[in-house]
Structure 1
Amino acid sequence: MTAAGQSQSTGSVAGFVIDSETEEPVPFAYIHLEEINRTGTTDRHGYFKIHNVPEGRYSLYVHRIGYSSKTQRVEIEGGEETNLTLELSPTVLTGESIEVVADADQLGGANLEHASIKVTGAQLRRNLGTTLSETLANQPGFDQRTMGAAPARPVIRGLGDERVLILQDGERTGDVSGASPDHSVTVDPMGADEIEIARGPAALAYGSNAIGGVINVVRNQIANNKPSSINGTATVQGASVNTGISAAGRVSIPKNDFVYNVDVNGRYGDNYRSPSGTIDNSGYLTTNNAVGVSYIRPWGYSGLAASTFISNYGIPPDPEGGHANGVDVEMQKYQVESRSEFLINDHFFKMIESGISYRYYHHSEFESAEIIGTEYKQNSANINLKGTHRSLWFFNDGVVGIWGEFQDYQVLDRFNINANNYSASAFTIQEADFGPLHIEVGARFDAVLAKPDRENPDSRIGHIRQREFYSLASSATAIYNLGAGFSIGSTFLHSFRAPSIEELYSQGPHIAAYSFEIGNPDLDPERGLAKELFVRFRKSNANFELTGYHNGFKNYIYPRNTGRQNIFFPRLNDYQYESVGAEIYGLEGMMEFQLTSNLTLNSSASFTVGRRDVSDDEMESGDFDSDTTPLPMIPPFSFKTGLTYVSGPFQVGANVRHSFKQDRLAEFESVTDAYTLLGANAEYRLNSSGGYLHTFSIQANNILDETYQNHLSRLKDVFPEPGRNISLLYRLYF
């Protein structure tokens, strides 16, 4: 089709974002057309324009520091430009979001359809940490699995590792962070525009295994919209607890029909300090850089990006755990990706998106300056094709797609693993509205082939052989608008997770993780059934949400600490991968209430219980007095409450976090004592005469220098968590 022909089926949306009280332009507001993931930013005059939008109705999300986020329904007509003036209201509520629809008759399910959590702006900067998990740790239901300052991974409602899928710009990270607690995530949150968390049907577009959720770090390395002028950010951050320094810069340059993006950042941290002293070998040095180019035309866009992630970090020493001097980890990841979008005129499909990516990952664990204990190498490639179609029967616009992945995986240690993994999927996600009721449904079919380099029927762990897995995952969400700011909803998700290569074929020491890992080539797929029920209340002066959830598992796969010393490495315990029936359930809630025009109270709480079935052999051993026992690494009940005072561009707050004693223990786990942490933060925003936005932030954590342990850390019986930390951050928007 010609570009001219295409332009008749597409339009654009443009306009100004202004302050509702002063009617002054609002620069550097983040614009997001959610249904097609198109983004933009207002310029210094508050102006924005998003090109090449297919005909239809969309949710236009606008966010800016110091203002209520706003979602407005817009109608795009082919060949026309839709002009808007969007008014943002100053707010003291960090989570306030205003929903706007075209008319009262449509005030129903449509304005509730985007149920994902978004972490943006001031909230992202205030919680910005060294790792992705530290940045998200204050979200209700979130915890972090740690093993030092750098290796950390998010845990959602007690679910982590392969059950939480981490993406960057919608693509998998290609690392092995889900395989072991000493492995770092190869995503740096410093350069993020926003962080999205999705559950339910929306998660099935990315995988069948994400029963805990999908975390997508949005950096927009491949631009999908052409800005009106050069724009970018520059960031500097410092931390006292480890004499840490971080710096990042980003610039987007439009030139004719092209947009060039450049991202650079680096982090350095020395050994961190705890109340009991400095923790040796806990430092890190990391750099994450990317370049991207996009070609944007009326028919859509096509782009290419290349990125690197290079990190050296330490695992603190454990004289009793196998490495008296600690372990040094050197990690490199190199990635190339391409993404395209094609707009289609007068067809059932109105947009086709395609993507292809390749990643090389290399990870070495040095037990001494010359000796590599364990080495990981992985080549992985992904390909995907997704179509957005017009209304079908009673469904609104929906999505169908296919996805494929290849992994060439090697673990080089005393007992090598060499295997390939092939995955293929087809999925669909559909939405419908019936007055105040909004419904989302999704399904995904997966086929997985795990193929070791050679068959071995006589290995120590069993018959090593090729395994094949097939399954259908499904999900449904219903949200009902009760009016007056109240809504209720429920989500069901039937998940499928094929055993990973590590779970099937591991048979060697992992010194950095204090374990000798033993796979099980006979494992069946893990299947879960997640249920949740929630109630929400959203008004201009208050937000409230309460959620109850239950996840039941057939063949829950986990590495069980047998308590048995390995015969080859007596300082290491055997960790045997097993599958059992299990359940994880709990409650989480959050509340934000405006006490006065300047003062806000916010609170959140999370409670999780995890239990597994006890086998007949375990019962016969006499070590168990019940047919169920606690799962390992389940976070304790915790809550956080705080006050925030806002006056114009100035904001200051204080908070208290309390974690209760965790004495619901799995085998060989130890009690984690209760603790209380005091924190504070402040921020100031300045619009300079040159049209720049400056933000200055200071954050204080563990002000009283409390000694405490994280129950989800394998280091907790050896070292405490970091002590008092003062963090300073400056960010420039231009």
Structure 2
Amino acid sequence: MRHSSLFIAIHLALFSGPLLAQDSDEREGRHDTELETLVVRALPYERTALETAEPVDILAGEQLDDRRGMTLGETLANQPGVQSSYYGPGSGRPIIRGLGGARVRILEDGLSTGDASAPSDDHAVALDPMLVEQVEILRGPATLLYGSGASGGVINVIDNRIPRVLPGAPIEGSFELRGDTVADERSGVFRLDGAAGNFAWHVDGTWRDTDDYRIPGAAEAHEEHDHEDHEEDEEYGEEGTLPNSFVENRSGTIGLSWIGSRGFIGASYRQFESDYGIPAPHVHGDEAHEDHEEDEHEGEGEEGFATIDLEQQRFDLKGELSDPLPGFTLARLRLGTNDYVHREIEMEGEEDGHDEGEHEHVPTTFDVETIQARLELQNRPVAGFLGAIGLQADREDFVAIGEEAYIAPNRTDSLALFALQEREFGELTLSLGGRIERFEIEADLPGQDDHDHDEHDEEHHDHEGEAPDVDFDRDRRQFTNWSVSAGAIWQANEHWQTRLNLSRSQRAPLASELFANGVHLATFSYEIGDPNLGRETTLNWDLGLHRHSETFDLDINLFHKQVDDFIYLADTGEEFDGFMIRQAVQEDATFYGLEAQAAWQFHDTAMGDFDLRLAYDLVRGELDGGEDLPRISPQRLTSGLDWHRGPWRAGLEWQRVFRQSRVADFESPTPGYHLVNARLGYAFNLGMMPMEVYLSGHNLGDEEARVHTSYLRDFAPLPGRNLRFGLRGQF
């Protein structure tokens, strides 16, 4: 077979490399901060991932440096149990154990990112991974600290833009410059931190520019060419390049804190801008352009490309005070306001072939304004339990205006009371969590006469068929979610521990699930919400076995989620204007699977330090009637070898993503693929500044790889062979 020799060579290298030498009297300088020293900031008490009963994964230091991608989803996509929704290089949201969207809550040091990424995969998460210092992935009881609907998990991103402690020097900083060959990336990041008396300040900035990236073959999957809707269509784009896959990002932040003996108070302001293409043609129906007799290019007018122009302005206030009240050791206050706007600009025909804007549609504008307030009190031990209680209040105003405004303007208010407590019973640590959350969702629904798209039809194009006749019978919903969880960790001995977590959580529907009514280009469908949807209720258990020692680490996790009244978009079998009509419905569903990873450390050898890694993950998602759910992550097997010796470090990684043939109705299987990655870094000092120059290779086999969890898998394969090079330093 094509991959057999490559498979054998990689695994021979992985298993034989650490055995070449085992004697050395002197250990070379260790490369990274050990996992057991990293404090989990999302938890109310300062503990490491190994000390808490909560199932937490942390990505930081060199591990994070080696994984940084253009999106948060790409950065975390190789973590066990985590994949990306991948909507091109400009947008990718993490998916945890088969659950994504609003079921995975993304935070910036405890507060929501405040963007529009949860309801739609083409909307980017409004942060740049190049500025991230630590990423925490939470599952289990701790997720109730941040939202009852986070049945998939919580991802907390730490960037320290509001200083918590005084820096060690009057001014210090870091920078990174990098480029690549697959998209001609030009990017950079800098950060400065300083202090004057009790004041600490922070400044950072990022920029990134990429062209359309190169791919091994054609953009469109071969299976699509046989579809009756594409029999007479030519493939879009030139072979070897993915059209409209460019990315341009800019961000800047300033922060200032006053730091005293009992705590701190600080504020920050950040502006984030992103302009990126959606690398898939948006089709307006086979007959939508028959009246354009002057069009010289038959059929070309039927396809258009969309770009997203995004801007976010965010202000945060954060403070901590020790011993604020009797019975409490610490108070944490967080306030955040956010103004997020993005425009979806759709162009017909060739990507750059528009004269005088002749084929440009009126942009659709999405405006999200949020206010968040969170108070958390860490209590002294009560009956042996230590933890925190708190309140959180959020408001989100959402407005969409334009041709593809498929959701009516709406407001979502929420108020929550939460608690998380832990107690040790000898070798057993017990964790209990609870959250009560009240939601009110109100939409400004147009009258039925105003909602039949007549205005858009006259100005832009004729629709094929009739729009669905939808008449919502209510415009306001209220929900009260009750969620509880319990977890236990048993430290059997110095090296072995087991974990068990049980939870019952509820999720209120999103406004888009209740009140959608229109074409949603991101899902290639006409979406219809249901204002009578009820809450989702998830019963979850996961069981973990963990071993940690100086030479061997092992993690095995089994999980099972029973979701009553699972909300999803079901195909109706009907079409409007070439788009499948999908209706929000509820049905019981089950998710289950496992994650396993092992690491062997061969240190103090004559050739340096070696770390061998193996990982495997599997998730299944199915309706209780037996049908498979769409876009469920396929199985993955990953092996890697890391090497450090003095100033040098290197790594080799092989990943097998298996074919996904367990698919939903109207969904096609996705072929499996192999990915081979490698990296090499050299550390040196330039004067007093530590520096590192690095070179990494991605998809070295130049394989055609399509992400099954992506709506764009039939139009946008992953980038081809890529060499990335860069320089990072500190001062």
TM (norm. structure 2) is 0.82
Code of the aligned partner of 1:318:
P
1:403 aligned onto 2:392: yes
The alignment partner of 1:718 has SS state of coil
Give the direction of change, closer, same or farther, for the CA distance of 1:315–1:394 in structure 2 (3 Å limit): same
Compared with structure 1, are the counterparts of its residues 454 and 178 closer, same or farther at alpha carbon in structure 2 (3 Å cutoff)? Answer: closer
CA offsets, 1:552-583, max 9 Å, x none? 101111122334211xxx22111221111001
Contact 2:562 2:590 in 1 (8 A): yes
Mapped partners of 1:360, 1:631: distance in 2: 34
Name 1:424's counterpart in structure 2.
415
Contact 2:311 2:340 (8 Å CA) reproduced: yes
Q: 1:161 aligns with which of 87, 92, 101?
A: 101
| Aligned mates of 2:31, 2:662 — CA distance in 1 | 51
Out of 111-120 and 235-244, give the one that drifted further: 111-120
The yes-or-no answer on 1:213 pairing with 2:213 is: no
Assess if the C-alpha contact under 8 Å between 1:705 and 1:724 holds in 2: yes
Distance 2:682 2:570 in 1: 48
Alignment of 1:275-674 (within 5 A): 275-276=216-217, 277-318=240-281, 320=283, 324-344=303-323, 347-368=326-347, 370-396=360-386, 398-414=387-403, 417-453=408-444, 460-566=470-576, 570-595=577-602, 597=605, 598-613=609-624, 627-674=625-672
CA displacement, residues 121-148 of structure 1 (integer Å, 9 cap, x when unaligned): 1111111111111111111111111121
SS of aligned partner of 2:600? strand
Look up the equivalent residue of 1:718 and give its one-letter code.
F
Gap change, CA 1:527 and 1:455, over 3 Å in 2: farther
1:136 pairs with 2:125: no
- Residues 203 and 37 of structure 1: CA distance in aligned 2, closer, same or farther (over 3 Å): closer
- Is the Cα–Cα contact under 8 Å of residues 56 and 137 in structure 2 kept in the other structure? yes
User: Structure 2: which amino acid aligns with 1:139?
Assistant: Q
1:695: how far off? 2.0
CA distance in 2, matches of 1:709, 1:353: 44
CA distance in 2, matches of 1:112, 1:31: 11
In the TM superposition, residue 640 of structure 1 has moved relative to its aligned partner by 0.6
CA distance in 2 between partners of 1:390 and 1:21 (Å): 45
2:42/2:136 contact within 8 Å kept: no
1:712 counterpart SS class: coil
Identity %: 31
- Distance 1:416-1:581 versus aligned 2 partners, 3 A rule: closer
| Distance in 2 of aligned mates of 1:525 and 1:631 | 19
Question: How many Å separate the matches in 1 of 2:206 and 2:382?
Answer: 45
> Secondary structure of the equivalent of 1:696?
strand
Residue deviations 1:20-59 (CA, integer Å, cap 9, x gap): 9799999999997847779xxxxxxxxxxxxxxx9xx964
Contact 2:54–2:140 (CA<8 Å) still a contact in 1?
A: no
| C-alpha contact (below 8 Å) 1:530/1:549 kept by paired residues | yes
Query: Which stretch shows the higher mean deviation, 292-301 or 602-611?
Result: 292-301
Instruction: Kindly provide the amino acid, as one letter, of the partner of residue 312 in structure 1.
Output: D
Shift, 1:259, TM fit: 0.5
Question: Against the structure 1 CA distance between its residues 190 and 321, is the aligned structure 2 distance closer, same or farther, given a 3 Å change threshold?
Answer: farther
The range that moved more, 716-725 or 467-476, is 716-725
Equivalent residue in structure 1 for 2:705, among 705, 708, 718: 708
Task: Identify the structure with the greater strand proportion.
Answer: 1
Shift of 1:465: 1.9
- SS in structure 2 of the partner of residue 464 of structure 1: coil
- Inter-partner Cα distance in structure 1 for 2:494 and 2:536: 42
Secondary structure, aligned partner of 1:273: coil
8 Å Cα contact 2:317/2:334 also seen in 1: yes
Aligned counterparts, 1:96-111, within 5 A:
111=51
Instruction: Give 1:181 deviation, angstroms.
Output: 1.8
Q: Which amino acid aligns with 1:236?
A: L
CA distance in 1, matches of 2:41, 2:698: 38
Preserved CA contact (<8 Å) 1:341 1:354: yes
Gaps of 5+ in 1: 1-19, 39-53, 62-70, 72-98, 100-110, 614-626
Give the 5 Å matches for 1:191-210: 191-210=131-150
Q: Which amino acid aligns with 1:255?
A: A
Distance 2:275 2:30 in 1: 44
Instruction: Give, in whole Å, the separation in 1 of the partners of 2:388 and 2:431.
Output: 11
2:513 partner SS: helix
- Work out whether residues 279 and 715 of structure 2, in 8 Å CA contact, stay in contact via their aligned partners in 1: no
CA distance in 2, matches of 1:674, 1:725: 20
Instruction: Measure the CA separation in 2 of the matches of 1:36 and 1:274.
Output: 39
Separation (CA, whole Å) in 2 of partners of 1:510 and 1:389: 47
Tell me the amino acid that sits aligned with residue 257 of structure 1.
Answer: N
Name the SS of the counterpart of 1:159 in structure 2: coil
Q: Which amino acid aligns with 1:408?
A: D
For residue 231 of structure 1, what is the amino acid of its counterpart? Answer: E
Change (3 A) 1:36 1:564: closer
Quote the residue 1:43 is aligned against. none
Q: Which one is further off, 659-668 or 598-607?
A: 598-607
- Give the secondary structure class of the aligned counterpart of 2:316: strand
Q: Using a 3 Å threshold, how does the CA distance of structure 1 residues 544 and 29 change in structure 2: closer, same or farther? A: closer
Match of 2:122 among 164, 182, 198: 182
Within 5 A, what are the aligned runs for 1:4-83?
34=39, 59=47
Aligned mates of 2:494, 2:38 — CA distance in 1: 26
Q: Secondary structure of the residue that 1:152 maps to in structure 2?
A: coil
* 2:595 alignment partner AA: E
Give, in whole Å, the separation in 2 of the partners of 1:489 and 1:137.
Answer: 24
Q: Which residue of 2 aligns with 1:89?
A: none
Q: How many Å separate the matches in 2 of 1:705 and 1:34?
A: 39
Note closer, same or farther for the CA distance 1:184–1:27 as it changes in structure 2 (3 Å cut): closer
SS at match of 2:650: strand
Counterpart Cα distance in 2 of 1:532 and 1:31:
22
Mapped partners of 2:135, 2:41: distance in 1: 17
Aligned mates of 1:318, 1:710 — CA distance in 2: 17
Q: Does 1:265 align with 2:256?
A: no
Q: Which deviates the most, 590-599 or 231-240?
A: 590-599
Cα 1:497/1:346, change in 2 over 3 Å? closer
Q: 1:318 to 1:504 in 2, by over 3 A?
A: same
Query: What letter corresponds to residue 534 of structure 1 in structure 2?
Result: G
Indicate if the aligned counterparts of 1:700 and 1:727 stay in contact, CA closer than 8 A: yes
Distance in 2 between the 1:23 and 1:652 partners?
A: 14
Q: CA deviation at 1:641?
A: 0.7
CA distance in 1, matches of 2:209, 2:423: 49
1:595 Cα deviation (Å)? Answer: 4.6
Distance 1:662 1:143 in 2: 14
Q: Distance in 1 between matches of 2:83 and 2:522?
A: 22
2:54 and 2:487 in contact (8 A); partners too: no
How far 1:436 moved relative to its partner?
Answer: 0.8
Q: What letter is aligned with 2:253?
A: A
CA contact (8 A) 1:174 1:361 kept: yes
Where does residue 695 of structure 1 map in the other structure? 692
CA distances 1:355-376 after superposition (whole Å, capped 9, x unpaired): 2111011111111354235321
Report if aligned partners of 1:191, 1:219 keep a CA contact under 8 Å in 2.
Answer: yes
Question: Which stretch shifts more, 339-348 or 399-408?
Answer: 339-348
For 1:146 and 1:492, locate their aligned partners in 2 and report how far apart those are by CA, in whole Å: 31
